[in-house]
Structure 1
Amino acid sequence: MLEPWNDASILPPPIHTSKCNSDVDVRQLSHTCKNIIKVLSKQSPLHREAAICSRFLYKFDKKFRNDIGYRNFKKVNTALRKYLGLNILKDIESFHSVLPTDDDQYLPTRQMLEYVLVRLLSFSKIMERICVCSKVAAVFYLDRVKRGESHWMSLMPFALLSRVWSMSTVLLQHSCNWYTNLQSFLDKLKLKGLNFLPADYMLPNNIEEWLDMKNLDNVGRFQWSQKKDIEIDQSLVEDEEGDTFDNILDFVNQINENILEEEEPMTISVPDKTKDAKTLQVTNTAVDFGEKISRDIFKNFFKPIEEKIIHTAERVTNKDSLNKFMLKEEKFRNENSNQSLTKHLSFMQWQALRSSLLALQESLSNNRKIEKRFKKIWQEKCLDYK
């Protein structure tokens, strides 16, 4: 059996009034209803964002259908459609129209207020769903923006989700306040007719605990499987003047001083022919940290020694020598070798030179013409760029 707040087919109770003998602050009850009507009647920005969300999903469904952030984006759209189909504004207006305007005490029945509270529970659950799903989807899109992956296609949904999250969070806070204010009048109204709620169902007394609002901010964050606790020295904490850099240098100097103080002189015993033990005192007071080198120089230590191959453009005289020359040059360029004759050319310049040489290789010219045309192309598209 579905709970009343989760049942979309629930019907409102009949409109009845009953004379209430207890003191009921009708003005406060009417003020709360007017506040709800005022806020809910000005949600055209949220409706506009819901329309943009629906159009975005329709346009990019095939392109991003397997993306995790896109799937949470679809959940936001589903929750927004549920909100648009709830029509809680009409229920509040119907309840407010029954409230007395003069001094008579004919108030709505308790069943009518219970129906309004149930609809507020549904409204708050939908807003919570929108908050959670929009935050989870925004985290993935923000990660894409930081990595530069399809940043243009990620900025628009990230901005849209941020606006939806901010508006839904405000409405969620409003719904908690509305529920608390209206629930205080529940015991003061009388029952008339059949019970609206099931006999074993109780409305929550504290809606914030029912929604777990304390942990709402933690939902949507990454839960790492491996966590490592790092102890931070208090001297590294930034002070009011922002001297974090000086604190780090002082901290490093202090560690070096402690290391030097803890080091003790090393003693080495050297046996003598006369069997007299002599002690050689060796004190290690200086530490050789080496010399800083770049990463490229460090990688050169592990590169194999290249065999010097005679590679020159002057040996190109026919198609066979041209083919061998191009194979060697392309190999040297891929290996970033110093023997490459076109290492000063950019990628596009090399492609232009390569296409011209391939066209020359496929031509039907004789060897003499190939040699002359090769020297001309080599001069124009390689040597002239130096």
Structure 2
Amino acid sequence: MASLCFWNDFELKKPPLVTIPVEDTGFAKHVFVLINRYLQQLNTQNAKEFNQTAALIGRLMARRKNSFRNMPGFRSVCKLNAALCRLLRLDLPRDLEHLRGALPDVCDAELSGELPTRSSFEYILVRLLSFYRLHERIRECCLTVAKYFGQLLRNNNFMEYITVLIAAIAKINNLSKLQGNSCAQLYNKLLPQRPHFPLVEKHNFLNEDWKLPTHLNVIKLSKTSTQSDESTPGSPSLNAKATTVITKVDKAKQKAKADVGTVVSRQHPKSGKTPAFQLDSLDTVENVKQFIVRETKARKQTPDNCITKAIKHHEWLSAKTIFESKLNSKEHAKALNIFRKFIGNKI
């Protein structure tokens, strides 16, 4: 029995990472690419959410460990938390990075180089197997927990706690399927490369009664009905409308209904042109006074046709006030000059 669970041995010793010169290093490029792709998947958002959800399950377990400690479903939660902690202790990315770093930089069938021993490569395969089996254990515990606490939820017991717990269990179960599948795919692709690594006769990592599985099963992820309908080409649609046959008579009727005449655009009468204004007409104070009286009246009656329509109301009032104040101060030339400059800049 111990030989079947050698992958879960806590005291499994890692063989020394020793490189041996070989003549053919062409296959090492394929190994490097596979490991590199897998390590890139561990930095995605799903991997971060898996760690966050695992931490949430640990906090939920610690919160109710006194009141739920005798419940069989809560024992499954404890087993689930233990499997998640074991997964964290495994530290598979570190071992993969060490093996990737030991591979030669340039790999080719005609180039010689140094490669890690087969024992180091078998250790990586055992770690992948352990990673895969732990995810199987996690999914089994998730199903047990969901089944037990789902019954409590029907009885309206601990509604808030159980709702959060089941949501976390469902999320960790889905993410575990994704990580387990990626691990199984990596294992299945790396296992055929095992005979290519150099073997050291004096040191064999795997005992005689330890046998690695030849293939790890990949879980088929369930898809929603909408996604399956969209992905399946040529599938009949339930909402598809029946096609109707349009005859020549129907086309003629539609054309007659569509013929509503010619659209005629109405042209609005153009307003009268603004009378031309010459700044030289404001050469005396009296002319400016007459201009102010005339424009004040025009701005009230026809604001769109007056000469000073571009001037805002508060600007026109301030200009009149400054002009009158300068006249009261007996500064006629200055008042005339300021008003002429103001009108010249605005018009």
TM-score, normalised via structure 2 length: 0.57
Question: Paired residue for 1:123, among 120, 125, 131?
Answer: 131
Report SS of the residue matched to 1:184. Answer: helix
Residue 5 of structure 1 contacts residue 122 of structure 1 at CA under 8 Å; is this kept in 2? yes
The letter of the residue matching 1:188 is: H
Displacement after TM superposition at 1:54 (Å): 1.4
Task: Count residues in correspondence.
Answer: 216
Q: 1:214 to 1:170 in 2, by over 3 A?
A: closer
Residue aligning to 1:166: 174
Once the two structures are TM-superposed, the CA of residue 18 in structure 1 deviates from its matched residue by 2.4
Which protein has greater RCO, CA pairs closer than 8 Å, 6+ apart?
Answer: 2
Partner of residue 122, structure 2: 114
Q: CA deviation at 1:49?
A: 1.6
Superposed CA RMSD: 2.5
Taking the TM superposition and a 5 Å limit, the aligned residue runs for 1:87-236 are 87-103=91-107, 104-192=112-200, 193-208=202-217
Selected match of 2:27 from 14, 25, 28: 25
Within 5 Å, give how 1:216-365 maps onto structure 2: none
Corresponding residue SS for 2:66? coil
Q: CA deviation at 1:86?
A: 0.8
Shift, 1:130, TM fit: 0.4
Q: Residue 58 of structure 1 aligns with which residue? A: 62
| C-alpha contact 1:24 1:188 (8 A) present in aligned 2 | no
> Which segments of 5 or more consecutive residues in structure 1 lack a partner in the other structure?
218-239, 242-386
Larger Rg: 2
SS at match of 1:18: strand
1:247 maps to what in 2? Answer: none
Structure 1 segment 38-53 matched on structure 2, within 5 A: 38-42=40-44, 43-53=47-57
Contact 1:36 1:178 in 2 (8 A): yes
Contact 2:25 2:113 in 1 (8 A): no
State the SS of the aligned residue for 1:49: helix
2:86 corresponding residue in structure 1: 82
Q: How far apart are residue 121 of structure 1 and its match?
A: 0.9
Q: How far does the alpha carbon of each residue in 1:253-296 deviate from its partner, in whole angstroms, 9 at most, with x for none?
A: xxxxxxxxxxxxxxxxxxxxxxxxxxxxxxxxxxxxxxxxxxxx
Range with greater deviation from structure 2 (155-164 or 136-145): 136-145
Give CA deviations for 1:197-245 in whole Å, capped at 9, x if unaligned: 112322111223xxxx78999xxxxxxxxxxxxxxxxxxxxxx98xxxx
2-structure distance, mates of 1:206, 1:8:
24
Shift of 1:143: 3.0
Tell me the distance in 2 between the aligned counterparts of 1:64 and 1:172.
30
Assess if the C-alpha contact under 8 Å between 2:20 and 2:115 holds in 1.
yes
Distance 2:104 2:123 in 1: 19
Identity %: 26
- Whichever residue aligns with residue 128 of structure 2, its letter is L
String of CA shifts for 1:332-385, please: whole Å, max 9, x gaps: xxxxxxxxxxxxxxxxxxxxxxxxxxxxxxxxxxxxxxxxxxxxxxxxxxxxxx
Structure 1 residue 113 displacement after superposition: 0.6
**Which secondary structure state, in structure 1, belongs to the residue aligned with residue 194 of structure 2?**
coil
Q: What is the distance in 2 between the residues matched to 1:155 and 1:200?
A: 46
| Distance across 1 between alignment mates of 2:134 and 2:191 | 20
Counterparts of 1:165 and 1:99 in 2: how far apart (Å)? Answer: 35
Name the aligned partner's letter for residue 158 of structure 1: I
SS at match of 1:19: strand
Deviation at 1:179, TM superposition (A): 0.6
Who is 1:5 aligned against? 7
Q: Aligned AA for 2:199?
A: L
Give 3-state SS (helix, strand or coil) of 2:137's partner: helix
Contact 2:177 / 2:219 at 8 angstroms: preserved in 1? Answer: no
Q: Is the Cα contact below 8 Å between 1:41 and 1:89 reproduced in 2? A: no
In structure 2, relative to structure 1, the CA distance for the partners of 1:52 and 1:89 (3 Å cut) is same
Take 2:211 and 2:24, find their aligned partners in 1: how far apart are those partners?
A: 23
* One-letter amino acid matched to 1:125: R
1:86-106 deviation line (CA, Å, top 9, x unaligned) = 111111100000111124432
Q: Which stretch of the first structure deviates more once superposed, 34-43 or 114-123?
A: 34-43
Aligned residue identity for 2:80? V
How much does 1:41 deviate?
Answer: 4.1
Once the two structures are TM-superposed, the CA of residue 48 in structure 1 deviates from its matched residue by: 1.6
SS at match of 2:196: coil
1:110 and 1:190 in contact (8 A); partners too: yes
- Aligned equivalent of 1:362: none
